[in-house]
Each structure stands twice: as structure tokens, then as C-alpha cells.
Amino acid sequence: MSPSLDLTDPATFVSHDPYEFWHGVRRESPVYWHPPSARRPGFWVVAGYADVRSCYGNWKQLSSVHGNVLDVLLRGGDSAGGKMLAVTDRPRHRHLRNLMLRAFSPRVLGSVVQRIEQRTADLIRTVTELGSFDFATEVAEHIPMNTICDLLSIPNRDRKQLLQWSKTALASEHPESAELDALEARNEIVLYLMELAFERRSRPGDDVISMIADAEVDGRPLTPEEIALNCYSLLLGGDESSRMTAISTVLAFTRYADQWRALREGTIRVDTAVEELLRWATPGMHFARTARCNFFLGGQQVRAGDIVTLWNTSANNDETVFAAPRTLDLSRAPNKHLTFGHGPHFCVGASLGRAELRALLRSLVASVREIELDGVPRRIYSNFLYGYSSLPVSFRPRSTA
């Protein structure tokens, strides 16, 4: 059996219940071949937790250098391969990763996390006074992008434009938006960051871009393009995924009032809740690899050159690992979700993503008593990201008495 939904079409994830679909896939065909279309090749779909986790660690047989997102691989590959951490293989990947991890050292993150906590607390207090508002635009848009911009020391005047490009690069609010719009947005981000790379190399400061520009990998400095591409990866990964997770978190609280009440009353630890909400949201639905050689996966013969897609959104809801996966359980433990991946390509910004969600939960607990849906959430249009572009809600303030 091969499931019939077209996973290359963003409309699939808007017009169908993805969790019901993936439940059937795990039961009937946990590894299956997605047929080609008129213009695009076929690819393998991996849905079960154990197989997805195993593939993430299998760098010897599965390569990232051609691209790690389905759309890019179907178009023929990623021009950033070998230059950007996410689409680089060992041994260069290890050297690049060690460099990028310096951007998330305690010394660098200390002041950034303080600003996250202050900015989030201020935003939540402000919107709570409004009563009804759109959480996506009034809160979620402002925290992750400003956090990454703080990390990269990007001028305040440029942040609004970067947010708009970021929102277009991986998803859309409307089906009519052209694929060329996404490509143009990505190019604009890279060109902007290249200008910053030139500037910081000539006039270095105490910031992450300057640090990357001053470093050497494999005995040579990174080119301005390589600096820009790796900062681009931080920006897109840090903005989109954290923004979708924040929106999903508040939406979940409107549907699971008992869980929100338990968190608010302190009967559930914030750190435990963070892990469940990351699993629950799973903003990056899939990542992809290219087979280096012939090998067997889930009883299927994968051949060299085949595209292999790893569906986190299915693995994080695998009933063999997570009991009642579509029931929000903020006390769930252990919670070995794959939202940040696994193995050599485990997300370098995971600690920052957790810090942002932790700050949101603490700010909600401090200021908000009740969270209610105040309209219809609007889904984004993507086959990579899962989430919402609009979430009308109302917050009732917590009494200060």
C-alpha cells in the first residue's frame, strides 16, 4: 500500500488532518515510496519514530550536502551544499558545527536570554491589557526574530524587513503566492547578510557575525557567502520554528484548559512543559537526505541517489513511543521528541529555542489567568512548516491582589 496524499503539495497539509494521515501511514506503510509527478522525482517517506531517529544518525549512508528540505531536493539540490552547516557532511560539518556552537556559548547567550525574558514579559503584559488581539502578529512575530537579530547584532531599522523576508522564505499565508517569491526572499536575506559580513570583517565588533568572519575552518577563513549562508540558517531556523511553536502553544492552551491551569498553578514544571509543547508543535514537519549508497530501510530497498524524507511530525506522534500522542500532557516524561532532530545535525540553536519557550510560559503564568480563542486561526501554506499565521485570542489578566 502507498498512501495517496501528495506530500509535495502544501494544500495537502491544510485540507487534510495530518495526524490522522500519519497514523494510517505508520500502521500500514511506515516506509514507502512516494511516486514521481510529471516534473518531479519520487522519494522515500519515513514515518515511524525508530526509523526516523535511526536515519538522523546514519550520516554514513545518508547525505545532507544536496539539501535537507524536500522542495529544494526535488528542484535538483541546494547551491549552499558544503557551505552552510545544515547542508554539509563530515568531516567539514564537524568543523563548521564547532564554530557555530560558539554562537550559543553561555557567554554569548547570557545577555541574549536576559533580553528574551524582558521582551517577552513586556509583550505579554501589554497584550493582556488589550483583551482581544492576534497573538501571532502582536507577540509571536516579535520574540524569535528580535532574539536572532540580537544574537547577530542586526540594526533595529532592518528587522522588520528581515521578518517579512523570513515569513515568505519557507511558507506563505496564501496559496497564490508564487514559488519565486520564496526564492527571492531567500536571496534577499543572503545578500543582506553578505553586506553585513563584508562590513564586520572590515570593522569587527563583539558579535556573532564578527566571530564567524574572524574564524577559520579547514585552515582558511570563510568567504562572505559562507558567512552569510550560515547566519541565514540561524535566522530562518531561529525565527520560523520558534514563532510557530509559540503560536501552537497558546492555541493548545485554549483547547486544554486543564493543562494551562495546572501550569499556572505550579503543579507542572515549566521545563517539562517546554518539552511537551515542542513535541506537540513540531513546526518543522520533515527534513530530508540523499542516499549515498544502496541499503535497506524498514524492509525497503533504498538506492544510491534516492531522496529520503524524515517526517518529524509523524515520529513525534508515534503511539509506540508517546502514549495518547494527540493528548497534550505537560507532565509527559520521558519525552524524547525529535523536534530538534537527532545525531550530528541536532539543532545548534536548541538551547535558544527552549529559552524562548520557557520565557513565554513564565510570562504567561505571571500575567494571565485565562486564555480563550477569539476567532478562527489561519493556517500557513507550506509542506515544510506546520503552524498558523493568525491566532485571535483574548487574555484575562491575573489578579495582582
Tell me the per-residue pLDDT of 229-263, one tens digit each, with 9 for 90 and over: 998 888 877 888 999 999 999 999 999 999 999 99
Which amino acid is located at 201 in the chain? R
Q: Would 4 be classed as within a structural domain?
A: no
Instruction: Supply the mean pLDDT for the chain.
Output: 92
Does residue 80 fall inside a structural domain? no
Supply the pTM of this predicted model: 0.93
Asked if residue 263 is part of any domain, the answer here is yes
Helix H or strand E segment including 63: strand 62-63
Rounded Cα gap, residues 165 and 256, in angstroms = 33
> What CA–CA distance (Å, rounded) separates 195 from 369?
46
Rg (CA), the chain: 21
Residue 242 CB neighbour total at 10 angstroms: 27
- Quick: pLDDT tens for 314-351: 999 999 999 999 999 999 999 999 999 999 999 999 99
Instruction: Confirm whether 22 is domain-assigned.
Output: yes
- CATH assignment of the domain containing 175: 1.10.630.10
Residue 6 located in a structural domain: no
79 assigned to some structural domain? no
The range of the structural domain enclosing residue 252 comes to 12-71+87-394
Ramachandran region of residue 51, left (φ > 0), alpha (ψ -120 to 50) or beta?
Answer: alpha
How many domains does the chain divide into? 1
Q: Report d(CA 24, CA 345) in Å as an integer.
A: 28
321 found inside a domain:
yes
DSSP string computed for 202-270:
HS--SSHHHHHHH-EETTEEPPHHHHHHHHHHHHHHHHHHHHHHHHHHHHHHHH-HHHHHHHHTTSS-H
Residue 7 counted as domain residue: no
Q: Which residue matches cell numbers 550530528?
A: 344
